[in-house]
Amino acid sequence: MKTFFTYLKGDRVIWMITILLGLLSLVSVYSFTSILTSQHKNVSTEDYLFKHVVMLVTGILLMYYAHNLKFTYYSKLSKLAIWLAAILLLLTMFIGVSINSADRWIVIPFLGINFQTSDFAKLVLIIYVARMLAINQPFIHEFKKGVLPILIPVIVICALILPGNFSTAAMLFALCFVMMFFGRVQLKHLGLIVAVAVAGFLFLVLLAKVFPDLLPRLETWINRFFNWSESNPAEAWQINNAKGAIYHGGLTGVGPGNGTLKTILPQAYADFIFASFIEEFGIIGGVILVLLYLILFYRAIRIASKSEKVFGTFMVAGLGMHLLVQAFINMMVCTGLVPVTGQNMPLLSMGGTSTWFTCLSIGIILSVSRSVTVEVGETEKVKPKTSEEKTDEKNAEGYAVA
């Protein structure tokens, strides 16, 4: 008799964590619908829940398709997708939809769905950097030949994201930097990259003082940074309320739907989801949530270490780090450890297309997983190499599997 996992290949633990986080998101989103309906009188509770269910189900379907596709195809697809990402980011700058004073979205024609182009760009850039790191391994010690072809698309994509979303641009640049570090880029070159990035950003800030339209959200970034401290509680009311929600939740929480401070937290269902989650599920629930993300990251790193292809290793490590860092930034914002940003909790937050790209990321990780192991019962065995894979190992471009 075929079991449920007969159709779900790859790491079973990752599948279970994904499904569990998805179910938790349904409970969390339903508890927020009363707030949303009070803000938008013409939309019902069921409308918000139905939309989230549709986005989640379609995301799981995307993940299923992605995990069935051989992971080497993502290397080839990234060559075209990196150009598409740059074009979409440019379109966002000129015809983007403004939500909460930030131009980060474009509307998908006929569907009426707001599409955050930076989510697509993040996924594509991580895959593309993994590809280039793999290809350039034989001469990674050379800056012009080995490092510069990787650095240029990183700078371009992050620069296009920067005007509308500083936190995402900074996080993505840092993530690519870490990937380059593990990709054996020399420390002197990494130091040069940091120096140029800092100098370039400071130059942009000076230009923005003369041409405000260059960085329209500059004042918002400055205010968030300098009002982050508890020394100015009147200005730091968002973080204070987030901490209050965590305190109110106590050890076991007040129960799903019974949270009260979420009504005064801005974007409580997204940017401050961790605080709202603890208010209703308690510190115990928060600890379990942290463990789920840590286990997800551990399984991803385990898959990366088992991949026989350098491209697969870099790609899974990059995607795994991105999911963990994004989750932990949300947690640190809610606990006052970092200034307020716009980072959602992967899968848990109420989101539109961000749910799709999170599911795609996990699907790609599972694609690498199923390529290196086959699971039999409770044990894992190394999958025997096919004749095609043996031929690939002899290929001169075997690093990138392009």
d(C-alpha 294, C-alpha 320), whole Å: 10
The candidate with the shortest Cα–Cα distance to 239, out of 156, 123, 334, 346, is 334
The torsion defined by the Cα of 211, 213, 214 and 219, in degrees rounded to 10, comes to 90
Question: Is 395 contained in some domain?
Answer: no
Cα–Cα separations (whole angstroms), residue 130 to 102, 134, 141? 30, 6, 16
* pLDDT of res. 70: 92
The single residue listed with the structure tokens 């031929």 is: 391
Tokens matching residue 367 = 């694609």
What is the DSSP track for 284-344?
HHHHHHHHHHHHHHHHHHHHHHH-SSHHHHHHHHHHHHHHHHHHHHHHHHHTTSS----PP
pLDDT at 338 (0 to 100): 80
Q: What is the pLDDT of residue 191?
A: 94
Q: What pLDDT does residue 48 have?
A: 72
* Amino acid letter for position 270: A
Of the candidates 347, 393, 304, 308, which has an alpha carbon nearest to the alpha carbon of residue 126? 304
Burial class (CB in 10 A: 0-12, 13-18, 19+), 215: buried
DSSP line for 225-268: HHT-STT-TTT-HHHHHHHHHHHHHTTT-S-TT--SGGGTSTTT
Residue 251 within a domain: yes
Question: What pLDDT score does 116 carry?
Answer: 84
The CA–CA distances, whole Å, from 148 to 104, 137, 266 equal 28, 13, 41
Which element (helix H / strand E) includes 224? helix 218-226
The phi-psi region of residue 340 (left if phi > 0; otherwise alpha if psi is between -120 and 50; otherwise beta) is beta
Would you say 92 and 104 are in contact if contact means Cβ atoms under 8 Å apart? yes
- Which residue type, as a one-letter code, is found at position 193? I
Chain position carrying tokens 């509308």? 164
Tokens of 123: 């996924």
Q: Classify residue 392: in a domain, yes or no.
A: no
What pLDDT does 220 receive? Answer: 65
Task: Give pLDDT tens digits along the chain (402 positions).
Answer: 355 566 778 889 999 999 999 999 888 877 776 666 655 556 566 677 788 888 899 999 999 999 999 999 999 999 999 999 999 999 888 776 665 555 566 776 666 667 788 899 999 999 999 999 999 999 999 999 999 999 999 999 999 998 878 888 999 999 999 999 999 999 999 999 999 998 988 888 787 777 776 676 666 666 666 665 554 554 567 777 888 888 888 898 888 878 777 777 766 677 788 888 898 899 999 999 999 999 999 999 999 999 989 999 999 999 999 999 999 999 988 887 887 777 888 988 876 788 999 999 999 999 999 887 643 333 344 455 555 444 444 443 444 444
* Residue at 337 is within a domain: yes
Q: Is the dihedral of CA 68, 19, 343, 173 positive or negative?
A: negative
Give the pair of three-digit tokens for residue 318: 């990059």
pLDDT at residue 392, rounded to an integer: 42
Owning domain of residue 217: 4-382
Could you tell me if residue 195 is inside a domain? yes
SS3 175: helix
Domain count, the chain: 1
Predicted model pTM = 0.86
pLDDT for residue 215: 72
Domain contains 389: no
Contact of 18 with 362, CB cutoff 8 Å: yes
Is position 301 within any domain? yes
DSSP 280-301: HHHHHHHHHHHHHHHHHHHHHH
Residue labelled with tokens 């947690």: 331
Least Cα distance to 354 among 320, 334, 326, 333 occurs for 326
398 located within any domain? no
Given a contact cutoff of 8 angstroms between Cβ atoms, the answer to whether 185 and 140 are in contact is yes
